[in-house]
Structure formats: structure tokens, C-alpha cells
Amino acid sequence: MLQLDDLSFAYGSVKAVNQVTLEVAEGSIHGLIGPNGAGKSTCIDLVSGRRRPTSGTVRYRGRHITDLSASRRRHLGIARSFQRISVYPTLTVADQLDLAARLVGEQDVDAIVAALDLGQCLSVTPAEIGYGEQRRVDIALALVGAPDLVLLDEPAAGLSREESIALADHLAALVRDRGMTVVLVEHHLEVVYRVCDRLTVLDHGAVIADGVPQEVRRDPQVVAAYLGRSAA
């Protein structure tokens, strides 16, 4: 459903993403993992249209979308959440969900509210709710309109281990239920192994492993990348 071909992105002379080629299968939850600075978030940025690649292409359902604007991509069915929570600080939660829903023709925004348990904070602004709830608002903004492909950029960042696992299970059930495809960038490996069907491991911007979680887990290169970094 999503294909990245030879995708590269450089910040000045630093190659954040280096000739990444990967394919995301329809209906899967595809994990994108790797040490800090491996280029995971930049990949999400390239797919969602936040950044333009220096070279390479992004194809979605066979169509080249490399140069489309972010808003066009959303209408094609590619939605994303943000690592640093990105909501509307002075609008009530109801307001922001309503505005987002109108854009993509979501008929049943209350189903998402219920699924993410946001019913209690509809009438207040993000400043008045907890961190975990703000996260869920951010995710809800990505899920309205049932996009075909959801890019989740560390949805569990800042949450405790238990909260992360709970959120991940919940999200996995939700997206499977609706037949969405997910690219998940996540730090907690436990979460990743739990919900992902397939994993791609990045290090220094390049793919070092790709496969089903059980294989990737034992890959010596992956182990080295993680251990080498944490030992340093």
C-alpha cells in the first residue's frame, strides 16, 4: 500500500534518512524502530508531507505522492499523529474534533470519542486535561474520517509502561477493527513486539533489518545497534 523507494533526506550535510526502501502491506501494523536519531520521525515526516525528500519517491496505492501537500495527502487517506503533542491550545476538545471531522466527512465522531475515552473532556481546552488525554486528542485528530493509512509517531511517548501497553492494545484493536493500515514509530520495544506484524529497523538513516518481529529481534545487527548505543 505504501512504498518508499531510495528515499533520502539531509539536514545540511547530515543524512537523516539514507536511501530507505520499504513497503508497508495493506492492513498491517508496521513498526519503525531504531535508536535515537535513526531517522524514524523523519521518515514519517516524508510520508506525511511535512518534509520533502532530497531524493527518492513515496508511492501510495501505486500513486506518486512525493510532491503532494500535507493537506492533499490527508484527503487521499494518509493521517498522522505527532511525537510532540500537536493539538489546538485554545479550542475545546469538542471544537477541534468537530472541525477535523467536517474536513474529512466523518459522520460519527462520537465513536472515536468513545473509543479513545474522551467524553469527559469535550467541553474543555487541552490546557485543562492531563498529558495522557492530550495524547489521545492528538491521536483522535488523526483517526477521524477513518484514514486508510495512519502514521503514529511515538503515540506512547511520555506515558508509563502500563499506560503505553494499554494504549497500544487499544489502538491495535481500534485500527484492526476499522481495517486501517498503521506505521508505528515507537521506543518501547515491548509495545512494538506486542502489536506489530512487521518491523523495519533504522540506524543512521538506513534500513538495517526488515522482517517479522521474531526474526528482527534476533538479528545480530539490530542487537548491536541497540546495545552499542546504550553502552556508549
Partner 1 sequence: MSAPTVADTLRRARRGARWEVAGWVVLALVGLGAPYVLTLYQLQLAQQAAIMGILALSIGWLLRQTGQLSFGHAAFYGIAGYGTAYVAEHASLPIGLTLLAGIGCGVVAALVVGLVTIRVPGIAFAMLTLAIGMLVWVAGGQLHSITRGADGLNVSLEGSLLGKDVVMYGNPVDAWPLVWGLLMASVAALWALSRTTWGRRLASIRDNEERVRFSGYATYWPRVVAFTVSGLVASLAGTVNLVTTSFISLETLYWSTGGLALIVAVIGGVRSVLGPPVGAALFIVLQNYLSGSGAHYQAVLGVVLIIVVLVAPGGLAEIAARARTAAVVRVRHRATEPAPPAPARDPLDAGAAPSTDTAGARRAAAR
Terminus-to-terminus CA distance in the chain, angstroms?
Answer: 38
Min dist CB 104 to partner 1, Å, is 6
- Spell out, one character per residue from 142 to 171, where the chain touches partner 1: x when CB under 8 A holds, - when not: x--x--------------------------
Nearer to partner 1, 25 or 99 (CB): 99
Q: Is 125 in the site for partner 1 (CB under 8 A)?
A: yes
Nearer to partner 1, 119 or 179 (CB): 119
* Burial of 118 per CB tally in 10 Å (0-12, 13-18, 19+): buried
Nearest to 38 by CA among 187, 173, 197, 183: 187
Taking CB under 8 A as the criterion, the residue among 43, 79, 115, 191 binding partner 1 is 79
> In angstroms, rounded to a whole number, what is the distance separating the alpha carbons of residues 54 and 46?
10
Nearer to partner 1, 94 or 165 (CB): 94
Rounded to the nearest 10 degrees, what angle do helices 131-143 and 93-104 cross at? 20
Residue whose C-alpha cell reads 506515558 in the numeric block: 159
Q: Is 134 in the site for partner 1 (CB under 8 A)?
A: no
| Interface size with partner 1, residues (CB under 8 A) | 43
Nearer to partner 1, 124 or 212 (CB): 124
* Interacting residues of 153 by C-beta distance below 8 A, sequence separation 6+: 40, 41, 44, 80, 81, 82, 83, 185
State the residues that interact with partner 1 by CB under 8 A: 48-50, 69-71, 74-75, 79-80, 82, 86-92, 94-104, 109-110, 113-114, 119-120, 122-125, 128, 141-142, 145
